[in-house]
Structure 1
Amino acid sequence: MFDSVNRYLFEDFVTDTAHARNGDELFGFLRKGLAQYGYERVVFIVRHDAELPPEMSGHGVFHSYPEDWVKYYVENDCAVYDPVMRAGLIRDRPFTWQSLEQTTTYTAKQTRFMRLAEEAGLNNGVGIPIRGAASAIAGVGLASLNRRDATRPHLDMLNALCHQFYAVLKRMNGRPDRPQPHLSPKEREILTWVAAGKTDDEIGLILSISRNTVDTHMRAVFRKLNAVNRVTAVVVGLTNGHISL
C-alpha cells in the first residue's frame, strides 16, 4: 500500500479504487491519495454528465469541505460567481487558486468570496477540471488546512488521482452496456510508454518510429477512449485494462 517513505503509490490507488464497493469507499481512497500532498479538503462537482444518474449531479456530491461552508455556498448560490467554478468550466488543465487570482480580474464580490473561503479553512486551493464523453463537465476542488504555502503542488499527480476517481465513479454509476473500445497492440504499447512518462520523441526513439507516427496513434487512442489529454487516456487505459503499470 505504501512505499519506503510512506507514500500511497498510484498503482495501488488504481487497484484500490477498481475494487471499491461504493461511492463513499471510492471517495475515501481519493481523500487518502490527496492527503499525502497536503490536501485534506476535497469537493467533487458534476455540472453535466448525461451518463450519470441525476442524484450524482451538483456541487458537493462527495466532499470533505466544512459543512458550514457548503451550506453557505448552496444557500447563497455562490456557483454563479465563484471564480474557481467559472474557470473550471472553460479550462481543461489543473490550476491553483493563487495563479487564477493573479491572472484574472476579480470583482469585489469574487474577492470577498475567496477571502471568506480562506476564513473557512480552505487554503492553497487547486482546481481540477474533468472533461468526459458527450460534453460531460465535472471537477474536483482541493484545499489545505495549512495556511502556509508549502512546496509547489504536484498538479500532474493530483490530476491523475482525480481522473481515476471519476473514471471509476462513471463505471459504478454509468451505463453498463457500453462496449469497450479496442486498442491495437501498437496503441497499447505507446499508451504504456505514455503512462511511464515518456514524450512522443522518446517513444519514437524507443519504438524506432517517427514522432508523427506516435502522434497519429495517440490521436486514435484519444478518440477511442474519449480522452481529452494524455492523463485522461492513461487513467481510462488503466481502469479498463488496456494497459497496466
Structure 2
Amino acid sequence: MLATNRPFRWTDAAEPGNRLHNRILHEAEDAGLRDGIGIPIHGPNNQCVGIGFASTLGKVDVKVAMPVLHLMAIQFHTAYSARTLPPPPPPPRLTPRECEILRWCAVGKSAWAIGEILNIAENSVEWHLKNIFRKLEVTSRIGAVLKALQFGIITL
C-alpha cells in the first residue's frame, strides 16, 4: 500500500489470497491490535516512508482520525527529516548580471528582448545563459528559473 499517496485503514490493505498481508494482519490481531491506519509519505528522489498507527480498541472512527493522524505523520516526518538528513548544499553563486537575466527569463523574455532591455548583444545573453545552466546544473531556461526560485536566488 506504500504505492498509494493516501492514508489507508489496515483492513483496506488486505488483499484476498495474499498470504503475507493476511499473516501480518493476523499477527497484529494476536498482539492485541484490532485496527490500524497506514500513512505513506512520499518525498524527493522516490523516497517513501510509511508511518503506522495501531489501536487495541477496535474500530477507529476513520472520518475523524484519518486527517488528524495524516497531519501528525507529516509533521513528524518533516521534523525527523530536518534532524537526520544532511543539510542541502548551498545555492550556486550567480553574478548580478546572471540574476538579472534569469529574472527576465522568468517573465518570458527572449534572449533578443533581454539583450535589448540590458543593452547587450543577444550572444552575450546566450553566453550568460550557458553559464547559468552550468552553475544550476540544468538544461533549459524553465529549469534554471525553477531552480533559482527554489534556491531563493530570484523571486517573482
TM superposition score normalised by structure 2: 0.51
* Unaligned segments of structure 1, at least 5 residues: 1-86, 181-219, 225-245
Q: How does 1:8-23 map to 2 (within 5 A)?
A: none
SS of equivalent to 1:134: coil
Could you report, residue by residue, the CA deviation over 1:172-201 in whole angstroms, capped at 9, with x for unpaired residues?
111224459xxxxxxxxxxxxxxxxxxxxx
CA distance in 2, matches of 1:174, 1:108: 36
Distance in 1 (alpha carbons) for counterparts of 2:89 and 2:17: 43
Aligned to 1:215: none
The aligned runs of 1:1-245 (5 Å cut-off) are: 87-88=1-2, 90-101=3-14, 104-146=15-57, 148-152=58-62, 153-178=64-89
- Alignment CA distance shift 1:91-1:133 (3 Å): same
Residue-by-residue CA offset, 1:105-126 (whole Å, 9 max, x unaligned)? 2324432331121111222111
Find the structure with the greater CA-based Rg. 2
1:105/1:170 Cα in 2 relative to 1: closer, same or farther (>3 Å)? same
| Uncovered stretches (5+) of structure 2, i.e. residues with no partner | 92-145, 151-156
Identical positions, percent: 27
User: Relative to 1, partners in 2 of residues 1:99 and 1:166: Cα closer, same or farther, differing over 3 Å?
Assistant: same
Task: Tell me how far 1:136 sits from its aligned partner.
Answer: 0.8
Query: How has the CA–CA distance of structure 1 residues 108 and 176 changed in structure 2, closer, same or farther, with 3 Å as cutoff?
Result: closer
Relative contact order (alpha carbons < 8 A, sep ≥ 6): 1 or 2 greater? 1
Q: For 1:175, what is the secondary structure of its paired residue?
A: coil
